[in-house]
């Protein structure tokens, strides 16, 4: 029997809303899905909302004069309202993209390529996901700017003293992850944004691993740009969000050109649509926006505070359970006040790939690899780690299954 | 457990725990360094070619049980082969990994134990890493010694 007594929310009841989690595995057991940092599962109501859109009112948005098209536009824009509301950001500065990666690339190309030059610096951290590193490296290669990496402390936190020293007159952009997908660290982004702004630099906050898991107030954070993705927050793949300062979006030239993003097109040139549509070339992810809007309603119904409280408990349980496994090393902060419920670890004598494979045979799904954070892996002195990551539907039983499978795994590979 | 037994045969775990042919060759005829972008695993492969044959072959690097066992098995079975035969061996192994060839135990030696890996697409890369490194190594060697066999 699964149990979730004394938890901040009823994860057991919530599981029932997720078809994948409620269905038995081929062997008859239930899946212990501990890879929500890679992608979350989807509740039935999100699937239904997308299905209903296609069945009832599929039409392109912002075009047709007929009623179905108006309805499609309304549902699509309602998705934007929901997302903007969730992160307390103006709706007209809330841009839909393909994913968080594209949101960051949008800024790297629309702002970086035009504004950066020789001698300019983009400051990132060693714990960034590749999505907040590689776009800046590409743009640096074009513009002659330099990408610098702020170090990470042995405890798995951004070295704030180093950050203070590295932000200087040459710094044009500080791009930092809110919650590390590998270490789980919650970074003091408000402080970093304030430091960057004081030095006249712009800021990009990668909120991919925070928005799904805790209250995030984009206005309070105050960054120029904040990116996140739909599929990690109970929504569909194929949609991400860029929440930007309205004045930045107004000042920036478009990223992708095409339909939808123009005000007028002549043989001599074109002018741009209002924000946010200026940055949404082509037919947007309509069903995905509808699904994401429904996901937001689902999350709001539970309450982001409650989700965060639950995940703090789960993170503590997970740390305690992993401590019971001999030969196991945990990376990242130990204090659940400063971390999310995504925990990377290694096991002496067993490669993370083998851990992942063995755990799969026990219906425990974890990620093994570099988690798209290779600079961080090199810094930690490992090639890869295993990672267990929880969400609102993670129960005590999932954690117990993880611990038991890891103990068995050591025996299987002859480590004792 | 049946599924796991199929993948992790005893022979694989044995090669993983007691790796053969591990290390580097000083004065190697050719060396390559490959990595698996999926997991970050790295593989170094060195060969010493004498009279058109692989007189010595060693592999180093870190990786999962499948990649380490595959490298270990490779060094055993490829040692002493002439370069053409070694390439045929690699190709046969590659086809087996993609489920496109009936495995020939006489040719593959212990590496026959890796047959089950073909059913795990994500792990096929692990098994192939060192073997394809040998293919690249031989190509590099032939480029550097145009008449060398």
Whole-number pLDDT of residue B10? 87
How large is the average pLDDT for residues A366-387?
93
What chain B residue is nearest to A408 in terms of C-alpha separation? B1
**How much is the mean pLDDT over chain B?**
91
Report residue A379 as tokens. 């810094």
How large is the average pLDDT for residues A266-294?
97
Is residue B20 a part of any domain in this protein?
Answer: yes
* Residue B145 pLDDT class (50, 70, 90 cuts): confident
Q: Which residues pair with A407 in a beta bridge?
A: none
Tell how far CA B137 is from the center of its chain. 11
* Residue A4 scores a pLDDT above 50: no
Chain B residues with CB-CB distance to A353 below 8 A: 39, 41, 63-66, 123, 126
With residues binned 3-state (H G I as helix, E B as strand, rest as coil), the percentages for chain A, rounded to 5, are: 45, 20, 40
The pLDDT > 90 percentage for chain B reads 74
Whole-number pLDDT of residue A197? 98
* Separation between Cα atoms, residue A156 and residue A222, nearest integer Å: 24
Whole-number pLDDT of residue A359? 97
* Residue A1 pLDDT class (50, 70, 90 cuts): very low
Task: With CA atoms as reference, report the closest residue to A7 among A270, A312, A296, A218.
Answer: A312
Q: How does pLDDT run across A24-43, given as a tens digit for each residue?
A: 888 888 999 999 999 999 99
Cβ–Cβ gap A357/B63 under 8 Å? no
* Residue A130 scores a pLDDT above 60: yes
* Residue A416 pLDDT class (50, 70, 90 cuts): low
Is residue B68 a part of any domain in this protein?
Answer: yes
Task: With CA atoms as reference, report the closest residue to B17 among A173, A175, A415, A88.
Answer: A415
* Residue B140 scores a pLDDT above 50: yes
Domains A11-30+303-412 and A48-300 share a fold: no
Chain B residues with CB-CB distance to A352 below 8 A: 39, 64
> Is the C-alpha dihedral spanning A369, A104, A86, A334 positive or negative?
positive
Distance (Å) from the C-alpha of residue B125 to the closest C-alpha of chain A?
12
How large is the average pLDDT for residues B4-32?
90
Q: Which of B40, B44, B66, B126 to mutate to test the interface with A (most CBs of A within 10 A)?
A: B40
Q: Which of B65, B124, B129 to mutate to test the interface with A (most CBs of A within 10 A)?
A: B65
The pLDDT > 70 percentage for chain A reads 98
Q: Under CATH, which architecture does the A48-300 domain have?
A: 3-Layer(aba) Sandwich (3.40)
* Residue B17 pLDDT class (50, 70, 90 cuts): confident
Whole-number pLDDT of residue A383? 87
Whole-number pLDDT of residue B71? 96
Q: Which residues pair with A350 in a beta bridge?
A: A347
Which residue among A150, A234, A365, A372 is the active-site one? A372
Cβ–Cβ gap B123/A353 under 8 Å? yes
Cβ–Cβ gap B4/A358 under 8 Å? yes
* Residue B147 pLDDT class (50, 70, 90 cuts): low
Is residue B149 a part of any domain in this protein?
Answer: no
How large is the average pLDDT for residues A348-354?
93
Query: In A255-381, at which residue ranges do the beta strands (DSSP E only) sit?
Result: 262-265, 270-272, 328-331, 342-347, 364-365, 367-369
Cβ–Cβ gap A383/B66 under 8 Å? no
Whole-angstrom CA distances from B93 to A166, B47, B61, B102, B127 are 51, 19, 21, 10, 9
How large is the average pLDDT for residues A334-361?
96
* Residue A70 scores a pLDDT above 80: yes
Q: What is the CATH number of the domain that holds B134?
A: 3.90.1010.10
Q: How does pLDDT run across B90-138, given as a tens digit for each residue?
A: 999 999 999 999 999 999 999 999 999 998 888 899 999 999 999 999 9
* Residue B149 scores a pLDDT above 70: no
Whole-number pLDDT of residue A5? 45
Is residue B126 a part of any domain in this protein?
Answer: yes
Whole-number pLDDT of residue B146? 67
Query: Across the interface, which of A377, A383, A413 has its CB nearest the CB of B65?
Result: A413
* Residue B148 scores a pLDDT above 50: no
CB-CB contact of B143 with B39 (8 Å): no
Q: How many domains is chain B partitioned into structurally?
A: 1
Whole-number pLDDT of residue A8? 83
Residue by residue, DSSP assigns A117-167 as -TT-EEEEETT--GGGTHHHHHHHHHH--EEEEE-B-TTSSB-HHHHHHH-
Torsion of CA B113, B117, B118, B121, to 10 degrees: -170
**Does CATH place domain A11-30+303-412 in 3.90.1150.10?**
yes
Q: Where are the domains of chain A?
A: 11-30+303-412, 48-300
**How much is the mean pLDDT over chain A?**
95
The pLDDT > 90 percentage for chain A reads 93
Q: Which of A29, A357, A358, A374 to mutate to test the interface with B (most CBs of B within 10 A)?
A: A357
Q: How does pLDDT run across A187-228, given as a tens digit for each residue?
A: 999 999 999 999 999 999 999 999 999 999 999 999 999 999
Cβ–Cβ gap B64/A412 under 8 Å? no
Question: Whole domain around residue B88: which residue ranges?
Answer: 2-144
Tell how far CA B120 is from the center of its chain. 18
Q: How does pLDDT run across B58-74, given as a tens digit for each residue?
A: 999 888 999 999 999 99
């Amino acid at each position: 029997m699964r149990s979730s007594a004394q938890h901040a929310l009823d994860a057991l009841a919530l599981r029932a809303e997720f078809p994948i989690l409620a269905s038995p595995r081929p062997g008859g057991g239930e899946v212990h899905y501990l890879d929500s940092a890679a992608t979350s599962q989807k509740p039935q109501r999100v699937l239904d909302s997308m299905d209903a859109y296609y069945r009832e009112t599929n039409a392109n948005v912002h075009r047709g004069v007929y009623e179905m098209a108006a309805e499609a536009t309304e549902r699509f824009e309602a998705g934007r309202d929901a997302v903007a509301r969730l992160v307390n950001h103006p709706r007209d500065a809330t841009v839909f993209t393909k994913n968080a990666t594209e949101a960051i690339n949008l800024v790297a190309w629309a702002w970086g390529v035009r504004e950066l030059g020789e001698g300019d610096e983009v400051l990132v951290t060693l714990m960034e996901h590749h999505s907040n590193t590689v776009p800046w490296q590409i743009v640096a290669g074009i513009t002659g700017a330099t990408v610098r990496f702020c170090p990470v402390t042995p405890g798995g936190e951004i070295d704030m003293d180093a950050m203070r020293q590295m932000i200087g007159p040459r710094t044009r952009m500080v791009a930092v992850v809110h919650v590390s997908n590998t270490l789980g660290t919650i970074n003091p982004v408000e402080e970093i944004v304030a430091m960057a702004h004081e030095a006249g630099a712009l800021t990009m906050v990668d909120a991919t691993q925070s928005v799904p898991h805790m209250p995030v107030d984009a206005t309070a954070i105050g960054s120029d740009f904040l990116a996140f993705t739909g599929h990690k927050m109970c929504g569909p793949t194929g949609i991400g969000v860029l929440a930007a300062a309205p004045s930045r979006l107004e000042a920036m030239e478009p990223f992708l050109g095409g339909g939808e993003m123009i005000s007028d097109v002549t043989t001599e040139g074109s002018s741009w649509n209002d924000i946010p549509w200026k940055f949404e070339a082509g037919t947007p992810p309509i069903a995905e926006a509808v699904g994401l809007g429904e996901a937001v309603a689902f999350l709001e119904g539970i309450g982001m505070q409650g989700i965060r409280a639950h995940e703090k408990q789960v993170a503590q349980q997970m740390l305690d359970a992993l401590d019971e496994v001999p030969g196991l090393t945990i990376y990242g902060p130990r204090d659940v006040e400063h971390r999310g419920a995504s925990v990377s670890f290694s096991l002496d004598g067993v490669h993370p790939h083998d851990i992942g494979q063995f755990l799969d045979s026990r219906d425990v799904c974890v990620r093994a690899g570099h988690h798209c954070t290779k600079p961080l892996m090199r810094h930690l002195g490992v090639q890869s780690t295993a990672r267990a990551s929880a969400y609102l539907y993670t129960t005590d039983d999932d954690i117990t299954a993880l611990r038991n499978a890891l103990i068995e795994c050591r025996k299987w590979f002859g480590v004792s | 457990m049946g599924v796991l037994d199929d993948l992790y045969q005893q022979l694989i775990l044995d090669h993983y725990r007691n790796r053969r042919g591990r290390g580097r060759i000083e004065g190697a005829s050719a060396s390559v360094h490959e990595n698996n972008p999926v997991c970050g695993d790295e593989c170094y492969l060195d060969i010493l070619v004498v009279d058109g044959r692989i007189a010595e072959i060693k592999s180093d690097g870190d990786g999962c049980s499948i990649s380490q066992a595959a490298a270990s098995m490779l060094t055993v079975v490829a040692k002493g082969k002439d370069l053409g035969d070694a390439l045929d061996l690699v190709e046969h192994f590659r086809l087996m990994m993609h489920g496109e060839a009936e495995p020939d135990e006489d040719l593959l030696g212990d590496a026959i134990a890796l047959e089950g890996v073909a059913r795990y697409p994500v792990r096929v890369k692990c098994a192939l890493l060192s073997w394809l490194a040998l293919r690249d190594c031989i190509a590099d060697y032939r480029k550097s010694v145009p008449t060398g066999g």
